[in-house]
A = this chain, B = another copy of it.
Amino acid sequence: MVNAEPDSKSRLRLWLRLLKTSRGIEATLRERLRVEFSSTLPRFDVMAALMRHEEGLRMSELSGVLKVSNGNVTGIIERLVEDDMVERVAVKGDRRATKVRLTKGGKIHFAKLAEAHEAWIDELLNAFAAEDADYLSAQLQTVEDQTYD
């Protein structure tokens, strides 16, 4: 028995499924961050990146890590600074650059967000046993090298 359907159809279905799944999870995370912490996913992403870099990151490094535009990061950082979650630090030797890092309060706040976040993901993806999750991650990893920016 031959299958008349081209592979492209299966790939298209996979893409639509991938999109639906990730958008669904994202929507749930957004909602919970908003309701339970008056926060947002972009703020969470920025703080997570800064958490992994105690010493701080330049604005351009941050936008590189998060793969978003410079101007975008400027705006999010502005609001995080207003809320005393993040502080700007001058870079000695280069007056064009600024480093940003979490404040003490920012670290404390993020720890709470991160704990809740991990629990939410654990709940939303509980259909996957650890082995299945690892296998799926590996499968998805293979796409990575395909995507060029």
Contacts and interface: CB of A to CB of B under 8 A. Distances in A.
A interface SS class = helix
A147 B8 contact: no
Interface of A: 3, 5, 7-15, 17-28, 31, 67, 118-119, 121-134, 136-137, 139-149
| Chain multiplicity (copies) | 2
Contacts of A21: 18, 140, 143-144, 147
B12 A118 contact: yes
Contact of A18 (B25, B31, B146, B148): B25
Nearest to A14: B133
A28 B149 contact: yes
Contact of A14 (B5, B14, B19, B137): B137
